[in-house]
Structure 1
Amino acid sequence: MTEATSIGTRRDLMRGAAAGLATRVCLRMRQARAAEKMSQAQAEYRDTPNGLYSCAMCSLFEPPAACKVVEGEISKDGWCKAFALAD
């Protein structure tokens, strides 16, 4: 009976360790994604549209004032070289 108890305990321990490792990996990936954003200077961001194209039309724009790839506050009327027309 002690053998069955210790096997169950080891399995629980291994499952817990695996879950903890997966959680750490996910957290690090989230931090890495945040660090991958370009500065506004690198993206050549400007507060004015490029003709008809503006951040509001871009698939990377996150309302009300953010971008998936450019750091800082982003105007919906702005534009940068990372512009990707939303479908």
Structure 2
Amino acid sequence: MSEADACRADVWLWRARFFKTRSMAARFVEEGRVRMTRQGQETRLDKPARTLKVGDQLVFALGGRLIAVAVEAFGDRRGPATEARGLYSTLDGG
């Protein structure tokens, strides 16, 4: 699996600007607070090193809001917010 095909969950959450630091993202994943759906199979992420692929759907609660997103890209860095928004698309809550 090449780096272009997958990305660590903690790195992606940090690059997508859901968390200020990568360690905060890693702690959030370790606590089992992120659910991932891949090809109809839902699992709870429990390790920050779990890989995400394009098309994976993530659901987690953050700041009192339920966030549901689909992974669209991985990015090469943690860029500005406009760049980060290109890494995911939001899913309707219905």
Q: TM-score range by the shorter chain?
A: under 0.3
TM-score by length of 2: 0.22
Q: Give 1 or 2 for the bigger CA radius of gyration.
A: 1
TM-score (norm 1): 0.23
